[in-house]
Structure 1
Amino acid sequence: MSLVVLLSFLSIASVAINVESKCDSGTDLTQYVSRILNEVNAKGSETLRLPRRLLGDIYLKRGFINNIGNLKLGQNPVFLVCHNETLGAVQAKFVAENVTFNYEWVFGDEECWGSATIPPQTIYIDFDIQQNDDSETPKLLGLYVSDFTNTKFDVRIEGGSSPKSEELLKHQVLLTTKTALLRDAELTMTMHFAPKVEKYLFLNNISN
């Protein structure tokens, strides 16, 4: 795989909705999902800050997800799927391009420091909004990063003196950065998208 690839940001949005009349599987809800997508894209491309983390000897002091936004609908049409006669769900796929990640890191007690970046790549994310039968409104459970398809991080040592070989240190930073991204990207994206879709979680009757 090339170091620079288009990001196909596959987001499976499962929005469970109470249906006032009998649930009709196969109802076309493309326009409903498009309205959610427009809300998410309202500010266009954005950069999201990742949490700071101390992971063993590596301190991830500043990290970002870049170029989040400008999502596209990856399927057309989008249909209603019924769980029973009164409870339905919408499953949609969203696509974004050229999303990158970067971290600034410090080893030990500022013995050395540098940065780690991931080029534009393909990642897969489940965007999960569910509703239990006894709940009044759907709930955003979170976003689940299933995998990074490109883990060839570019790790750079930019200052200080490494107590171990350069290759060993870079390998340690790579593994630490990947661990943090798998965990923190979910939290950061959930906090970012939740307010944008909140108004659509209170629609008890979906219509185009």
Structure 2
Amino acid sequence: MAEEKPLRDRLIDAGVELVLSEGTSAVGLREIARRAGVSHGAPRRYFPTHHALLSAIAKRGFEDLAARFAAVTQPSAPPREQLRALGRAYVDHALEHRGMFELMFRHDLLDSERHDPSDRPRLREATLPVFGLLVDLVAHERPGPAPAVTAAALWSNLHGIAQLWAWGSLPLVVGDTDGRQLDRLLTAALDAHLGPVST
């Protein structure tokens, strides 16, 4: 018989399921406890605040995104091709997991250092390596000053594509009903921030 997960992991699992099915606004300690089959006070032993719980849930989202990035990364490929693959993985993750995507980047809600006084790993330990990968690839593709700024601008562009696509705005303006324009938008974002591919 499989060993039962620790209660903290079960509570996070319930939170992840709730975020994916109903969105961030539905996440509460009482509902998490109900879904995990424990008393409504049990989550407080592991998550002293609502923010701490949201941070733990968001960390799962970043772990999933990092796994997606690892699955599509071909270290032998040119940096620009790696960036294209990561950009598509990012947008796909956003479109497939909208509730989680919305939570992951709400650092106004997820300031785990301020809201969780424990010594558990901080959310930034999951988020910054994902961004660092973009910075490294941008630095290789476009050597020069401030690769982090260029990577942040590219990330903002990718995030906007994902959000506006999910809301239906981009499909409307580009006349797309089946997602065929997504790759063209990703190429345009890369060209805008890294310069066009030299021939």
Structure number having the greater helix percentage:
2
Larger Rg: 1
Structure number having the greater strand percentage:
1
TM-score clears 0.5: no
| Bigger RCO of structures 1 and 2 (CA < 8 A, at least 6 apart) | 1
